[in-house]
Amino acid sequence: SSFKPKGPTNEVVKVVNGMKRRRLGGSDIVVSELGLGTQRWVSVDHNAPDEKLCFDFMDEAILKSGVNLLDTAEQYPIPSGIGSPEGSTEECIGKWLKERKGSVKREDVVIATKITGGRNVNPRNIKKDCEGSLKRLGTDYI
């Protein structure tokens, strides 16, 4: 194997605003011990957080509290519907990243996204779904 670990798995690499950041596997990706789950963000559910509240969540967690991990998916929000189609959560995150460009650098946020499974999983659709996520997130890597 040509993989050379960057350091021990789960190693605490640094602490940011009191939040431990650990090595993900043996990679050079370092993630906060806590992450933000985004499944219901901007969904059609009556008590789902709207865009402003989601921005507040990211401001508090990422800008103030040392969180750097966002967990999302191309099919979020759940539930989706008229006015909040699948992909809206990634668009919300992308808008926040764009609007906070002066406060947060893209490389300081780890975005973990997923594609819809089942028969959808094949090389062509994986590439297409990832390209869609990149576009909605307004970034060039995930």
Residue numbers annotated as active site:
76
Q: Report the C-alpha gap between 134 and 28 in whole angstroms.
A: 21
What is the distance between the alpha carbons of residues 90 and 98, in angstroms, rounded to a whole number?
12
Angstrom distance (rounded) from CA 15 to CA 22: 9
Structure tokens at 73: 């998916």
